Amino acid sequence: MEALMARPGEAQKAGPPAPARPWPRWLFWAPLAVSLLLAFHAVFLWQAHQRARRDYEKVQAQLQEERQRNTHAKAVLDMINSPTVQRMTLVSAKKLPAPQVKTFYEKTSGHVLLLAGNLEPIPDDKVYELWLMPMSGEAMPAGTFRIESDGSAMMLHSMETEGIEAKSFAITVEPLRGSKTPTLPIRYAPAG
């Protein structure tokens, strides 16, 4: 303390304080660079999330489709193997019996399964329609179907009313949306 007091003039001679040392330039750019990197990373993560979401939705749709196919296949197998199913083979009513239609009918559930082979081609604006002929009353629509290029077809249909006793089945050619009553002639009917 004495040394400071002994030289009182020296403190006055020092003059104005020295200017502050400037910040290095990289300290100015560093936060900006980090912000840009974070922004790019956020955009990358958002795009990855969108891709993953689309992939997830696609897989979900495929899974739903497979579940529907599995349910359909199980219904077909259950119907073929059911001891209470009524089986009938339908053949051409006018031509050689090469075309063949097999029907499986489960009256308690109202399910009708049709398996066909060698059916005749029909115009594109028409469909085949299966008809359930009940023990009493009018013919009931039992589903429309199209054939493959080889004349084969498979259809599983649920009747609007369950428990109907079937006398027979028949097939006609109808407009695309089907009909409420059969349009003659009947193309396929039970053999014998």
Residues 71-127: pLDDT tens digits?
998 988 888 888 888 877 776 677 655 788 999 999 999 999 999 999 999 999 999
pLDDT at 71: 93
Q: Which residue has the higher pLDDT, 145 or 191?
A: 145
The answer on pLDDT for 13 being more than 60 is no
pLDDT at 189: 92
Residue 8 confidence class, pLDDT cut points 50, 70, 90: low
- Residue closest to 178 by CA, chosen among 149, 146, 152: 146
From residue 161, alpha-carbon distances to 150, 158, 164 in Å are 33, 8, 7
Domain ranges for the chain, please list them. 24-81, 86-190
Note whether 145 and 155 are within 8 A (CB): yes
Tell me how far apart the alpha carbons of residues 119 and 129 are, in angstroms, rounded to a whole number.
13
Domain 86-190 class in CATH: mainly beta
| Digit-coded pLDDT (tens) for 20-66 | 677 677 777 778 888 889 999 999 999 999 999 999 999 999 999 99
Q: Which residue has the higher pLDDT, 33 or 18?
A: 33
Query: What average pLDDT score do residues 133-154 get?
Result: 94
